[in-house]
Structure 1
Amino acid sequence: MALIQLQNEQDWNLVKEQKNRIMIMKNSTTCPVSHEAFKQYQKFASENENETIYYLNVQDARPLSNLLAEQTGVKHESPQVLIFEGDTVVWHDSHWNITNKKLAEANQKTKA
């Protein structure tokens, strides 16, 4: 499983330089809904070991979380998953909609 935690803007900039397509989850470490969504995200990552998948913990990386919302225009929510193609968000969803099945569908749809 290639699940990597991002901590700050420098981490984000490095990821953007190396990848054209990026999946990232905004996770809250204190929210039960986030906890369940993160388990689904981890399951998705374990089933897609050939892909590098990212996350940030909002409490630890608030400036990065805010930066993503500002740069994309996608209102911050947590839990929230965003898929980027370059600098453009091509898919996003939040809360109970973050399931392994929906992540797999979004992953396939945005690869096409």
Structure 2
Amino acid sequence: MGLFNKLFSGSTEEKETKTLPWIPLTKMEQLQEMETKSSTKLQVVFKHSTRCGISRMVLKQFEADYHLTENHLDMYFLDLLNYRDISNEIAVKFQLMHESPQLLVIKNGEAVAYESHGGINSLDLSNFI
């Protein structure tokens, strides 16, 4: 009966949602800035396809499990559908094959770790700080 009540009770109860300190990655110039800043602060890029259910699921899980702050790292969010050229440049610059979703960890100008799909949520970012 509990499930039935949740579906049809008209409850306005909402789940608590986290808002991560995302920095929209929308300009090529940001890649150089990111590379430079990576010598003093960890830089992370989440490449997301807004039309992909798997990418959406992985993003939600990543956000739910995220526990670091802006003091630890910079979090960049790349919308692959609108900024595919930036994704292509990331692949060239850091010598990585494009995948979606994909998480890149950049330290001292190099991609020190990356994962895609379900592997994203098994990557412990605190190991790189």
TM range, normalised to the smaller chain?
0.7 to 0.9
Q: Deviations over 1:67-90 (max 9, x none)?
A: 000111110000000101122111
Residue of structure 1 in register with 2:79 after alignment: 57
Distance 1:96 1:42 in 2: 13
Alignment of 1:80-95 (within 5 A): 80-95=102-117
- Gaps spanning 5+ residues in structure 1: where? none
Structure 1's consecutive aligned runs of 4 or more residues displaced over 4 angstroms after TM superposition are none
Q: Which has the larger radius of gyration?
A: 2
TM-score (norm 2): 0.73
Residue of structure 2 in register with 1:13 after alignment: 32
Distance 2:62 2:95 in 1: 23
Residue of structure 1 in register with 2:126 after alignment: 108
TM-score (norm 1): 0.82
Distance 2:55 2:93 in 1: 23
Distance 2:36 2:63 in 1: 24
CA RMSD between the two structures: 1.7
Q: How many residues align?
A: 106
The one-letter amino acid paired with 2:58 is A
Residue of structure 2 in register with 1:68 after alignment: 90
Q: Percent identity?
A: 25
- Indicate yes or no: 2:9 matched with 1:3: no
**What's the CA shift for 1:2?**
1.3
Relative to its length, the structure with more helix (as a share) is 1
Q: Is the 8 A contact 1:40 1:98 kept in 2?
A: no
- Gaps spanning 5+ residues in structure 2: where? 1-19
Distance 2:110 2:37 in 1: 15
